[in-house]
Structure 1
């Protein structure tokens, strides 16, 4: 049976999203499992058939976890009338009536509006006094733990949004060990590099690169490690172009070899309808605009699309007029500076 230390350890681990050997950036499913683990330990210690934790409030979405037999917990109208920081039984739960299965419930106010409900239920024999004490012992920690959890979740959501925008614009980051092994990289970057340029991580943790690029990376890592303040640029791939700017940067309180990466964007990889809607073009015009943005000449674009050169030339004039740009350089600037990449 779990003791109080194990229950508290599970509570703090869930709030941080940390399993043994994991990072706070673990998967959402893994973080959900941690909350279920905390409730399972609490249920085992109190011999509860059901345990739930609910976080919500007026006008706020409800977040919750539950283990054991299905149970929704006390009704919202009942929870509204509960005092913060008091452990209730089925007998003194406000407005719930004197009958019903044995339960213990604790409400805690989180900030001005949010509230926390922690509740246990069993069938048959009532809870012991020590079982209610298990809930009482959690009171000093609930506000700190769940307040911290909510802040971390907000920061994770913002970091995810930042990462999605960086990925859409071809950006990413890689952290290297002095030996050249990759210690961490932006989420999804490995899959992008593999799909775009055939670059992947080898079994030894190093990037799989052509020999020339691998040698350039080794030299850059050595130079940056030996001379703080130095920045080196390494071309990891020429087609498509993938560039890495390597320097020392403090990450997580430690000075680390940090590579900021950018890979070439392809307008032809964007959905044609998205380009057409963004700039008021027809589908044919959008296809040609994408080719010209990717650096193809009119002749090259005509060949790529299976058009005659004259068709490509007349269509390009229509594009320039619709987008109010002067020639291919203006088209390129307009497209690359637009938000069409971020949908």
Structure 2
């Protein structure tokens, strides 16, 4: 059964929507059921290696009836997947199978499987293993080999050759959609980690195009800008409330820097409150001399320009975390009161000011400071400030 132009609309386009559906690809599976007139359609997914894998099944709508759900039972095709896992792992990608083929040589296994099919109310099924791309697991681990199988099943009649042909024709499209889904999931996870790391490091970012218009901004920076400069930054516009000279400097750098990817520039955006930005061109060479994001030409435009030409990294002043003192205790073995004094000294307070703030006598604070310096391996307040600011205590 070849793919028709209608199939391209009804079956292939839903694969794009299926990337973000929950359960995954439910629209595609539901339409596949209707297209073939079968009773069940499902997608079986495996992450990790077969020896220690995690499996899950995405059923088409209607595969699991309310009665089955209340009984906490899987749909028949899901139960068949669970039973046939050893056979599934042996399938060659791209070929459509009736799993009964794999037990025809064994009379006992053949009879046992027919009984299992009958118990599940199934007459016949077809399954195709999808050819997925392997991916680097990271951390020096072996490459991951994910796997997926698409299957249909009927209750009362045999599956036809044309139905198997349609599964074979659809398999490359579904495999590509699954690979894209995996890549998007990893990219989103990386982005969440990066946002969390910047936020906890008390950093934010903005991105500008070549006209110094705002392309993107992280929420913490937008909120900070609104609270301290009185205007929330708006995408597609230039920053408000900048001094005229600063606005001109930013515009000039946005024009010049994307063509010179070898250096960054610092710019004072606001004197009161004091806000500095480190301006970095997209594709800025990293500390190892490698281009982080080499520009490529796409439809006559550099890739950088389709997203933004200039990245601005901003320190976002914030009070120390409520856990700052406990972090010093954990890392350096300080008692709590000594850790609290160390934080006060790191914020620029004198020993006398720290003692007053914590309700300590001056003599006690001096004794504490000597033990603090010894514990942190520093010889004075200047080194103490450096050590604490380089550590985790002041992170959010």
TM bucket normalised to smaller: 0.7 to 0.9
Shift of 1:177: 3.4
Distance of 1:331 and 1:191 partners within structure 2: 33
Deviation at 1:277, TM superposition (A): 0.7
Q: Say whether residues 1:257 and 2:263 are aligned partners.
A: no
Q: Which residue of 1 aligns with 2:376?
A: 323
Q: Which has the larger displacement, 268-277 or 100-109?
A: 100-109
CA apart distance, 1:243:
2.2
Look at both structures and tell me which one has the larger radius of gyration over its CA atoms: 2
| CA drift at 1:145 | 4.2
1:114 counterpart = 2:146: yes
**d(CA) in 2 for partners of 1:281 and 1:194?**
37
Q: Which moved more, 1:170-179 or 1:321-330?
A: 170-179
Report if the CA contact (8 A) 1:174-1:185 is conserved. yes
- Confirm or deny that 1:219 pairs with 2:248: yes
Q: Which has the higher contact order (CA 8 A, sep 6+)?
A: 2
Unmatched 5+ stretches in structure 1: 18-29
Please state which structure has a larger fraction of its residues in strand: 1
- TM-score (norm: length of structure 2): 0.66
Quote how far apart the aligned CAs of 1:324 are: 1.8
Q: Indicate the residue corresponding to 2:320 in structure 1.
A: 268
Cα RMSD, aligned residues only: 3.9
- 1:42 alignment partner in structure 2: 32
CA contact 1:165–1:342 (8 Å) conserved in 2: no
* Partner in structure 1 of residue 349 of structure 2: 296
Equivalent residue pairs, number: 326
Cα distance, 1:280 vs structure 2:
0.6
Contact 2:29 2:42 (C-alpha < 8 Å) held by counterparts: yes
Match in the other structure for 1:132? 164
Cα displacement string for residues 159-217 of structure 1 (whole angstroms, at most 9, x for unaligned residues): 4434433332233432123554421234x5446736985777345655876x3x45455
Residue 54 of structure 1: aligned partner: 44
The answer to whether the Cα contact below 8 Å between 1:202 and 1:208 also exists between their aligned partners in 2 is: yes
Distance 1:191 1:224, change over 3 A: closer
Q: 1:245 aligns to what SS in structure 2?
A: strand
Take 1:295 and 1:170, find their aligned partners in 2: how far apart are those partners? 19
1:77-128: CA deviation from partner (whole Å, max 9, x where unpaired): 5132142233345765756325332543222354484321112346566655
Structure 2 CA distance for aligned equivalents of residues 239 and 93 of structure 1:
76
